[in-house]
Structure 1
Amino acid sequence: MAFLYLTVAVIAEVLATAALKASNGFTELVPIIFTVLGYAIALFFLGLTFKTIPMGLAYAMWSAAGIVLISCVGWIVFKQNLDLPALIGLVFIVLGIVIINIFSESTEL
């Protein structure tokens, strides 16, 4: 269940961050509501994740997955450029998540 909670936390955080961008500096009401609700949901499910996955590892996976996914949302939805150094950095972030999940005994439930 912990990884399901973590997945929900990541998705909620990415949606909230996209809504934050869409809020135009907190001037648009509907995106502000989605931002606040999204972050609340993300933190709630991240807290549930902490019950079984060590805090440092859960937070690392949450933030890393969020960085990669929100970068993709920025590129696709908001037409923001990702140059080669940015893409290489994102690949390293993904590799970090893979290494944690495959090789770390700390994440075994």
Structure 2
Amino acid sequence: MPAVADVLLTPAALKRLTELAEAGTRVRLSIEAGGCAGFQRKFFPSTPAPDDVVAGHAPSALLLDPLSADLIKGATVDYKNDLSGAEFVLTIPQASSGCGCGASFNLPE
């Protein structure tokens, strides 16, 4: 059984993850060095890995690698679908700064 991430999924995010899982697609959230603020978040289709940490319950759980899960403890994942487009949105309370696009953030040292 995979470890559980300290990440909250909103009802909208859970609904979208469930829709994707029912269509055969699992979603991974990865935090990588880069972007204009230090770290960048990426949501993409993926398959489960043995060391995954999950947010939510299978089969609609969000997949994360252990390092990404540790970097965003206490974060919230939402799903927005409006005139500007449809996307998963990550809110990280401990982020010390971010960028205008919302894809990049920095953490306090």
TM-score bracket, normalised by the shorter chain, equals: under 0.3
| Structure ranking higher in strand proportion | 2
TM-score, normalising length from structure 2?
0.27
| Structure ranking higher in helix proportion | 1
TM-score, normalising length from structure 1?
0.27
Based on CA coordinates, which of the two structures has the bigger radius of gyration?
1
